[in-house]
Amino acid sequence: MARSVLERYGGFPFLSRVVMAFYDKVLDSDVLAPYFEDVDMRRLIDHQTKFMAFLMGGPASYTNEHLGNVHAHLGIDRPSFDVMVATMQETLEDFEMEEADVATVLHGLHSRAPWIITGPQAAAG
């Protein structure tokens, strides 16, 4: 049986380091940091790790409806979403993930944009 992307890179210990590094970059970003004011980062990192595991073929499961509910009040716009995706790509590349595996994760993020982008341009796509 083929191993998932998550398994090939060492599972949750690897992914945990990736997500921590990602949020270090996010919190240093003038565009992204404001979305995370007053957020319980430990809780968010736990959820993000599980979501990323899901995108990498791991055991967690997230529905689009759940993503929509979680992001509905945040007013995330397309430019901010694009910065987040670029930041994730940079982070995955920093951890020397193969190009095809990075593409898999980014595709998973892009395909869920309609449930994450909830700002004024959300309907315009």
| CB contact set of 110 (below 8 Å; sequence gap of 6+) | 85
Is residue 60 in a domain? yes
At 103-123, the pLDDT tens digits run 999 999 999 999 999 886 655
How far is C-alpha 102 from the chain's CA centre?
12
pLDDT bin (cut points 50, 70, 90) of residue 65 is very high
> Is the distance from CB of 29 to CB of 83 less than 8 angstroms?
yes
At 13-61, the pLDDT tens digits run 999 999 999 999 999 999 999 999 989 999 999 999 999 999 999 887 7
Helices then strands, counting H and E runs in the chain, come out as 7, 0
The pLDDT, as a whole number, for residue 125 is 46
The pLDDT, as a whole number, for residue 1 is 66
Is residue 123 in a domain? no
* Choice among 2-11, 94-103, 115-124 with the minimum mean pLDDT: 115-124
The pLDDT, as a whole number, for residue 62 is 82
Is residue 46 in a domain? yes
Is residue 75 in a domain? yes
Find the domain containing 96 and state its range: 5-116
Please count the structural domains in the chain: 1
- Tell me the CA distances in angstroms from 14 to 8, 17, 49, one per residue in order: 10, 5, 10
Is residue 125 in a domain? no
Is residue 102 in a domain? yes
Tell me what the mean pLDDT of segment 53-78 comes to.
Answer: 90
Q: What is the CATH number of the domain that holds 91?
A: 1.10.490.10
Is residue 121 in a domain? no
Is residue 124 in a domain? no
